[in-house]
Chains A and B, each alone.
Chain A
Amino acid sequence: MKTGRTRGLIRRPPGRALTLCLVLLAAFLGAMAARAQDDLRCLGCHGKPGFRKTLPSGQVLDLFVDPTPLRLSVHKDLSCVQCHADVNEVPHTTMPQRVNCKRCHYEGNTMGAPQTSKYLEFDKSVHNLALLAGNTKAPLCQDCHGGHFILSGSDPRSRVSRRHVSQTCGTCHIQIYGQYMESVHGKALTMGNKDAPVCTDCHGEHDIQGPKVASSSVNPANVANTCARCHSKIVIMKKYGINAEQVSTYKNSFHGIANEFGVLKAANCASCHTAHNILPPDDPRSSVNPKNIPKTCGRCHPGANANFAKGRIHVDPEDRSAGIVYWVALGFKILTLSTLAGLFIHIGLDLFRQVRARKSREAVLPARPTEENEP
């Protein structure tokens, strides 16, 4: 039966399969043609270089669209009106609105968009909150991901790739972008270093939240853990000669402990190293350069003098490089252990003797229970 059916399929004339193929091809070509026709209608105007409109306010809108980037993007198979869905007549009677990506991008869509609800994270982000508050400059999806030339984040040409995302953020956050590009992180990025953190590594992607929000990765309570994602990894830190214990020494310091117990005014990593301006201590511009340390410490501890810059800040008493602190810690460890051992032995012997005394007393005077302890 099984073999018969197989044989039957092979022997069947190819007519029906061919018909199916042809129908599919026709449908595909038809769709292509329809799309091409749609797009041709749009490009009739928008394809002309120099096509522009002057608004009553005097603002000039460049309305020229080069179709090439779209054809190279992940949306290469979409026609204009699939995204610009509110455009249905030419010339437009109403001003076309900004594209709503959620038409396709939701979990369970049948349009072939990635099955993810990641975009929902955007709802609680600082950008969406600004948008809801009426800030017209607040970014939508396309402001970061690009309009027509949308590529996967893993594509190095993408606006949201590791290489380019900082630049993308920088289109609005210009000043911070300038600081970041001067910092040790930005420099490393420019050098093509794949470990270098970009904006989204610290701030998150869709769910970027302001530092005042408790769940934000850059909230004072979470900064150390955010930095620790790289700075406590020996594999990464070893490459750059940075001590991977910096995070744990911070967490064991009074600053770290106060922070852990919820005193958010206590210093976190960024309080001393700054957030975007991070520079190595040997850089004279660095906030942790010995020359600048009195000023940096003085922001919270008024009156700090040059002594604050002498010696290490991140002291690890377990490590020999801590110098005298290591020896003090070791001395106390030995003192504590030997004292406790001595005390335990003394107590043990005392109890041993008391038990023996009681036994021998019972042997002599078995009939008389007594509380006296004298042998």
Chain B
Amino acid sequence: MSDSGARGWRPTDTESVVRGVARGLTDALNHEMREDLTEDQVERLKERLAGSLAADASAGVRRVHHAFLDQERRHAKSLERRKRREGADGTVERLSLHLRVQHMVLFASTIILIVTGLPIKFHDASVSVFLINLMGGPEVTRIIHRIGAVGLTCVGAYHLFYSMAFEAGRRDFGLLIPRPQDIKDFFHQMGYFLGIRREKPLFGRFSYIEKFDYWAVYWGMVVMITSGYLLWFKVLAINQFGKSIYDIAVEAHSDEALLATLAIIIWHFYNVHFNPKRFPGSLTWWNGRMRVEDFKEEHALEYEEMLRSGGLEHGGQEAGVRAGVSAEARRESP
């Protein structure tokens, strides 16, 4: 690396060095000077020229120097990230810390909302009364529910910001947009399940299953947050939008709550807990890591992409080779 060279460079010296060089340069400009200048004036002009050249040059050097250092630092960081992504223990990073924290806030808020909300929907069940009283009675649970609501809103808003402002967020969002390939993958998968097709479909970073999960949550958040705030600020909502909007919000909030809860318990829990491949549960949500074999199997296309871009050595065992990957290849991979 050129780091050591960069460290030996002292930009503060630039001006005096350049000044010397520029002084020599001005001598070559003698014939450009006007004849009516005295010897003394010529001397002073040369001095000034040399000074001006030196200032410009040193500013330029400093700028290029800083830009270079910046680039090198970013480089080192991305290498570091890469290194973390592919651990020596045969795992790869599937979820960044950023995403893991978003997921934790999301599920913590959702659990709070479900345990304080569903007893209201199923108020006839005796377990509902028990649960509500266990949590301190209805006047307390409505506060807890609203704390969960604020948590959910914040993580939702932050996720929108993340999907726009962060490169990783933009990239993932782009990859989550449904494509015709997802429909093909779905039918391929069905064929595989039924034994019509021999091979599994190959998935990229997000399979149609994960895309469904993501967009189900997206839809659920939009419905629940919108209707939830209409219920929270009911007088304002009815005064502004009319009672029928409020009635729709009541119904939608209640129905979508059940749909979301069932989808999480049945679908999401199957995919990350009860699937025999995962049981008793994947730890990806906690450490963000995934075994390379699983990664190869479930995200084959992303794996290939990483191989091609050099982000991952075959099998993920030889960590040292990564450093040799050319910068161009690294920059090509998103």
Q: Determine if B137 and A310 form an interchain contact, defined as CB atoms under 8 angstroms apart.
A: no
Question: Which B residues lie within 8 Å of A340 (CB)?
Answer: 262-263, 266
Interface residues of A (CB under 8 A from B): 252, 254, 257-258, 260-263, 301-305, 307-308, 310-312, 315, 317, 322-325, 328-329, 332-333, 335-336, 339-340, 343-344, 347, 349-354, 356, 373-374
List 27 A-B residue pairs with CB atoms under 8 Å apart, sorted by A's residue number.
Answer: A252-B123, A257-B123, A258-B138, A261-B129, A261-B137, A261-B138, A301-B234, A304-B239, A307-B239, A307-B241, A311-B244, A322-B247, A325-B251, A332-B252, A332-B256, A333-B255, A336-B258, A339-B263, A340-B262, A340-B263, A347-B266, A347-B267, A349-B190, A349-B194, A352-B193, A353-B194, A374-B297
Contact of B259 with A310 in the complex, beta carbons under 8 Å: no
Q: How far is the CB of A284 from chain B (nearest CB, A)?
A: 21
* CB <8 Å contact, B137 and A343: no
Return the contact of B276 from the options A257, A323, A354 (Cβ within 8 A).
A354
Tell me the B residues contacting A by CB distance below 8 Å: 120, 123, 129, 132, 137-139, 190, 192-195, 234-236, 238-244, 247-248, 250-252, 255-256, 258-259, 262-263, 266-267, 270, 275-277, 297
Chain A residues near B248 (CB-CB < 8 A) = 324-325, 328
Residues in A with CB closer than 8 Å to B129 are 260-261
> Given the complex, which residues of A lie within 8 Å of B236, measured CB to CB?
303
Instruction: With a 10 A CB-CB cut-off, give which of A257, A303, A310, A312 has the most chain B CB atoms.
Output: A257
* From B139, B190, B243, contact of A263 by CB (8 A): B139
- Shortest distance between the CB of B134 and any CB in chain A (Å): 12
| A301 contacts across to B, CB distance below 8 A | 234-235
Question: Which of chain A's residues have a CB closer than 8 A to the CB of B193?
Answer: 349-350, 352-353
Q: Looking across the interface, which residue of chain B has its beta carbon closest to that of A311? A: B243
Contact present for B263 and A328 (CB under 8 Å): no
- The answer to whether A343 touches B234, judged by C-beta atoms less than 8 angstroms apart, is no
Measured between alpha carbons, how far is A329 from B234 in the docked complex, in Å?
20
Determine the residue in chain B with the shortest Cβ distance to A298. B235
A303→B239 CA distance, assembly (Å): 8
Extra 9 A-B pairs, beta carbons < 8 Å, given A315-B247, A353-B193: A254-B120, A257-B120, A260-B123, A302-B235, A310-B242, A325-B247, A340-B266, A354-B276, A373-B277
Q: Which residues of chain A are near B247, meaning CB under 8 Å?
A: 311-312, 315, 322, 324-325
How far is A351 from B266 in the complex, measured between Cα atoms in Å? 14
Q: A261-B137, A311-B244, A353-B192 are in contact. Are A328 and B251 (CB under 8 A)?
A: yes
